[in-house]
Amino acid sequence: MPELPEVETIVTDLRPRLVGRRIASFRVGKKNLRRPWNTRWTSALRGKKIETVVRRGKWIVLRLEKGLHLVFHLGMTGQLMVVQARQPLASHTHVVADLDETDEQLHFRDIRRFGSVTFFAGEAHVNRFFHDSGLGPEPFDLEPGYWRNCLARTSRCLKAVLLDQRVLAGVGNIYADEALFEAQLHPRRLGRTVRPQEAGRLRRAVIQVLNRAIYKRGSSIRDYVGGNGDRGEYQEEFRVYSRAGAPCVRCRRPIRRIRLAGRSTYFCPSCQRNRSQFRSQESRVRSQKKSEW
């Protein structure tokens, strides 16, 4: 699934090619995406100018004049890009928007159809949509106190916390693993066992990893391409993700793969030791010794 760096790259690519242009026509295919399309929305979009393109978590938002919004989610295999109108229509293309005064079109393609496009008539409606979905803060706006409290209050493992979009918006499987490696924290480590300095280290690691990935235009593993159709390059710099059995870039020990929070999880057993386990073991040993006395 495209994560924050991939979505940010698409938004950056699309913004100069869409802002200021009008939607001459808007066509939606017969096969349903994750959210149904109301045919009344099509006429409401016709002739409207695109004012800006922004990202919220893993969502792409096109803000149009008169407060109208188009909100895209890429699901697992979605692609949103501007193409030449004379280009043959690719299979699994579900949305085509003609752009006026140009021979270009905006295409939304999704092989598995887990993605969506939704229309909102007004800023309040789109804001309510994100509020009702429980979407957490952006990683770049993450307040240290909020982050420490989120970890201190949970008995979930760090991998699960990072994947929870209600806690932190935009981070998925790839960048959760990469950030935990950067912070030298075990993915099984329980949130409530994390010390304040470790929480700060993880917060900074998330931002650093995301920024590096954005600079490399995200990670193209399967279907992801940017808004211009170009692939990302960050997959060539993975330190742990999808590197099971390969040597760690720090210590040369083999990278391990486990199943955690319902997802494949990659880490270095040497650089990311689960110190909370060690402390609990030491505590049990001390308790046994006291009972023997």
Please tell us whether the domain made up of 139-283 is placed in CATH 1.20.1070.10: no
CA proximity to 113, closest of 41, 39, 28: 28
Q: Which of 154, 161, 158 minimizes the C-alpha distance to 181? A: 158
Per-residue pLDDT of the chain (293 residues; tens, 9 = 90+): 899 999 999 999 999 999 999 999 999 998 989 989 999 999 999 999 999 999 999 999 999 999 999 999 999 999 999 999 999 999 999 999 999 978 999 999 999 999 999 999 999 999 999 999 999 999 999 999 999 999 999 999 999 999 999 999 999 999 999 999 999 999 999 999 999 999 999 999 999 999 999 999 999 988 899 999 999 999 999 999 999 999 999 999 999 999 999 999 999 999 999 876 545 544 443 544 444 44
Domain spans in the chain, listed from the N-terminal domain onward: 4-132, 139-283
CA distance linking residue 263 with residue 241, whole number of Å:
12
Active site residues: 2-3, 58, 263
Q: What is the pTM of this model?
A: 0.91
The CATH number fitting domain 4-132, selected from 3.30.750.24, 3.20.20.70, 3.20.190.10, 3.40.50.2300: 3.20.190.10
